[in-house]
Structures are given as structure tokens and as C-alpha cells.
Chain A
Amino acid sequence: MALPAAAIEQAIDWEVGEQQVGLWGDAWTRFRRNRLALIGLAIVLALIVVAVASPLLIRMGLLPDPFTQHVDTIEVGPGIGGHVFGTDVLGRDALSRLLIGSQVSLTVGILVQGIIFPIGLTIGLCAGYLGGRVDNLLMRFTDIWYAFPDLLFVLVVVSVWHVQGAWFVQLIPIFGAIALTSWVNLARLVRGQVLSIKEKEFVEAARSSGTPPFKIITRHLLPNSLGPIIVTLTFGIPQAIFLEAVLSFLGVGIQPPQPTWGQMVNDGYEAIYANPTAVVFPALAIGFTLLAFSFIGDGLRDALDPRMRK
């Protein structure tokens, strides 16, 4: 029986209209609807622009040099002597130092995730896929690791390992220490993901049709656990920034003159009654940067894990 032309037309319309939306497109749509996540993203993008652009602005003379000491305006409040945010204990411009300080925080936050990712992923995949003794070893190891709080471990490592040089050279032991404490979380997460996906029917189908283990891992296990991995790495960024800021605050992080926010809070303490803004601005900078990253993390979690949606 021939279908009416209109019905055929309709069916074609439906097919065309039903646009294919993949996981990532779907996630992006959901992420976009989350206002807080977008605000977080905007703050982070602005910070990246600041970190890249502020050295250029300083070189062009649009911003005061963050290392020059203005001896006639020491520890002054905002707006005095042409210093928009005031100056610090050594008479250096607080705004320039604040903007330059974003470099260290962002570098630590993002690069540490780059170190953790391959380590946590490989170990988690091995433990989850191979199981047995390898798995047992990892779990016992993480038990020990959990008895050692992150901050204490990082402090011990950084206190014994000092590297002299430019700020990114000094960052190496800090990277190492933070990465050493943080890969465990990722490895445990990947292991859990692999353990649950491994038993799913489609993996069994792949295995029974003779797919080699390596291909099962790269084709099936990895793509299906990518969402939670991305979320964990995103939440790792504020954690790493926090650890670096605490190190600087306690005076064992990056050494002066390179400004970091934690160190600026600590410096500001020396003359907190004379000029409280020297503490407030870097403190707020740290707080809102961490807040922005956790907004993005929350947004990604809701977007990438539909089961978590409310």
C-alpha cells in the first residue's frame, strides 16, 4: 500500500529534524545552561588573558614594574601615588604584582593535571583491568597514602627539596610533590570506572569476538570513563592551586622576587594595620580563582554525568 505523499514527506522531515547529538554536544548544551559554570569559565579565561597579557602591558609601560621599589610610597593604600591597588612593604606596585601572581597559580593548577593524567590513568587502568595482585598492591598503597595528608606530604617534600633559579625552575619540586599526592585519587577513580565497565555486555561482546585487550582498553574502557576523569582533573586544578598558595603563604614555596598570591598575603600580614588591602586583594584573588574552578568542575560533573542530574 502506497503511503500518502504527505506522510512520506513528514517521515523525511522527522529524520532530518532529529539531529544527531553526541555525548559531547549534549554535555556542552547542558554546561551552557549552567550559569555558575559559565561565570567560572569566564573568570578562568579572563585570568589566562591576564597571565599572558600583564607582562606585555608592563613592558609597554602601561602597568608599573612589579619589582621596582618606590621608596616614597611604602605600604600605602589604593590610589596613593598613582598605585591603583597601593604598594607592598617594599614599595612595589600591588596591582602589577597581583596580576603577575596569576602566572604561578595557573601554571601550577593546570600543568600538575598534565603530570597526573598519564600516571593516574596508566596505573588505574592496569589495576582495574588486570585485577588480582596488581590491583591489591594499588589498593594497599593508596591506603598508606591516605594516612598521609596531602598538605603535610607536600610541605615535607618541598622543605627538603629546594631548587634555585627562575620561578618555573623553582616550581619543579612543587609540581613533583603535588603530583605525587594527587595521582592516587585519579588512579582509584579510573580503577573503579574500569571495574564497572569491564563487566558490561558490550565489553563482553568485544572480548568474545576476539578484540585484543589493548583495543578494548582504548576503544571501550577509556572513552566510557573519560567523563569522570575530566571532572576529577578539573577539581584537581583548585586543589593544586590551593597547595601552592599555602606553600607560598608559609614561606616554603616560590622565593621572592617572583610574586605569588600566597606570598603576598603573608607579606601583607607584616603591616596589616597600616594597609589591610595588601592582604585582602591577593586573598580574594586566591578565593575567587578556586571558586571559579570549582564552579566549572560542578558544571562539568552535571553535564558529563547525566545520572547526577536533578
Chain B
Amino acid sequence: MTARRPGPGASLTERITAAGGSRVVSLTIYVLRRLLWMIPVVFFVIVITFVLMHLAPGSPWDRTSGRPLSPVVAEALDKKYGLNKPVFEQFLLYVSNVVHFDFGLSYQYQGKTVTSLIGEGWPYTATIGFLAFCLIAPFGIGLGVLAALRQNTRLDYALMGFATFAASFPNFVIGALMVVLFSVLMYKATGGNFYLPAGGFDLDDHLIMPVITLALLPIAFTARLTRASTLETIRQDFVRTAWAKGLTERLVVVRHILKNSLIPVVTTLGPTFAILITGSVIVETVFSIPGIGRAFVVAVTSRDYPMLLGTTVLFSVVIAVANLVVDILYVAIDPRVRVS
């Protein structure tokens, strides 16, 4: 039995030690088990993608336009990339290479490894993803709390109406409409003096539209969830007690309401990561940004199988890690959660 219950200000480590050693042990076991579980997940993602590619009719050297490759060249290419070996052998080879972080050679870009291509695209995707993430937390949570605190007012309706729109319109549609509005029409209206660039990448106004396009859906998603969970918390007894004690609105909202209502919001950070990744695929295409998402689309349209496999594996690992971190965070911030 533990003698002292940690106060609300206790840090995570204090809380864990106060709850007894068993919690630390069970949490560690839980994390380890989840980490190990990632191995089969990634393995199956490889299996699924690999099987899909090899079941597909035709070969990666088929051209939809232009002169078809001569059989001699195709055979040489097959030999170069090891496609003449039995499928199962290719698979084993690929998996053993992946374990050594070797994702093979790209078909599309001669002489470049998948790893180097991903390395080239990574900074772009990471910059935009990071900036979008920085918008999601303050705007999503802020707007959600605001709407909940002013429930059934015009502000609430306006914010939720906006969230519904943002959640329903696909990001390539939002991106396209923004380009029309802020690049084309603004260019025409100001005579070319002031407009936002419709494509390319630079650490300036090139970032505005892609980041907003990427962040809009998760912001809407987070705002709706925050509103719902805040509304639920507001009706609880301890909040009424806090009001009755005569606490200021600030204290009640920050200390009592937010602390509880944000717990379910944290759990959606995992899905948010998945949204950001699939979003980057589209946003980078709309705004011609040379990131990993764009590389993925190029690989899809040009049947660059090693590139496709490499990016898919990378995406699934990122999502699996994000989900794991979120689950650990969830256990850490909510002392009521028991790991099993």
C-alpha cells in the first residue's frame, strides 16, 4: 500500500513511484510488448505491399506511352534489380536488407538508393508537418474550448460550422480553392503585386498555403472533439464545486476543466499523425513540394516498387511509433488508466 497519494501537481515520476513499483514494472512491460508488437505490424505491411506488387499483371518496365522496352533490355533490368529470382527469394532478400536499413535501388531514378531519396525528401515533409502540428494544438484545442464555453451562442455555431466545412472538404479541394483565391484572383486583383505562390518550397510565404491546407482537417477534428469532451467535463460535479468556491473563470477552465477534458484529445494525436502523413501526400502534390509524399505519388504513378515499399514502410513505422507514444502519454497523464 502506498502511504501518500500524489497531489495534482505531482510529476509523472512521482506519480508512478507513489502508485507503487508495480505500476512502473507494468508500464515498462507494456511499452516493451508494444515495441515488440511493432515488428509483426511492419512485417505484415511489407508482406501486403510486396504481395500486391508481385500479383500485379505486367512488369514495372511496361510503358503506358512511347515505345515499349525491348525484351533484352527488360531482361537485363530484371537481372539488375533481382527480379529474375523466385518471388519468395526476393522477399527474403528484401526483408533481410530492410533489417539492415537498406531499402534497395530506385527504378525511376537510376543509380539512387531509396534511402537517399527519402533522405532528400524528408526535410520538406518534416518542416511542413511540424509547422502544421504547431497550428493544430493551439487552434484545435483553443477553438474547441471556446465553442464549448460559449455553447449555443452564435460564436459556437460559427466555429462548429467552420469545423464541419473543414472536416468535409478534402484537402486537395481546399488547396485548389486556396490557390484560386490567393494566387490567381489576388494576382489579378493587385496587378501582380501581392499574391501567394501556388507551388514550390522555400522558408517564406511558400509555406503559408501548404501548412494551412495540411492543418485544416486535423484542426477541425481536434476542435470538434475538444468541444464535446469539454462540454462533458463542464457538467461534472467537481466543476460546479470549483465555481461554487468562487474561483475565477481562468482557474476553473485551466485547472479543472481543461485538465480533464484534454485527456481524450491526447488520444487522437495518433490518428492526427496518420492524417498528416496522408495529407502530406496530397498537399505536396498540389503545391509541387519535393517531399516524401510527392515521392510516394511519383512512385505510385511510375511503378517504382522499391520506392513504394520504402515509403510505405517508413509511413507505417512513423504511424506505429506515434500511436505507441500517444498510448504511453495517455497512461502517463491519466492516473486512472491501468495498463493490462
Binding site for B on A (CB under 8 A): 143-144, 146-153, 155-157, 159-162, 238, 242, 245-246, 249-252, 262, 265, 268-269, 272-273, 276, 279-280, 283-284, 286-287, 290-291, 294
Contact = CB atoms under 8 A, between A and B. Distances in A.
A155 B45 contact: no
B305 to A, nearest CB: 9
B41 interface: yes
A269 B176 contact: yes
A147 B184 CA distance: 38
B41 A283 contact: no
Given A147-B319, A160-B52, A294 B167 contact: yes
B300 A287 contact: no
Q: List 8 A-B pairs, minimum CB-CB distance, nearest first.
A: A160-B56, A159-B300, A287-B169, A291-B168, A151-B278, A276-B180, A283-B173, A147-B316
B318 to A, nearest CB: 10
A149 B165 contact: no
A291 B180 CA distance: 21
B49 to A, nearest CB: 6
Interface string B158-190: 000000110111101100110110011101000
B14 to A, nearest CB: 32
* Contact residues of B: prevailing secondary structure: helix
Given A144-B41, A250-B300, A279-B176, A272 B308 contact: no
A249 B320 CA distance: 28
Contacts of B37: 143
B315 A157 contact: no
Nearest to B55: A160
Given A147-B41, A290-B168, 17 more contacts: A146-B319, A149-B319, A151-B282, A156-B49, A156-B52, A159-B301, A161-B57, A245-B173, A250-B300, A252-B300, A268-B176, A269-B176, A272-B184, A272-B198, A286-B173, A287-B173, A290-B170
B206 interface: no
Contacts of A143: 37, 41
Interface string B272-307: 001001100110010000000000110011010000
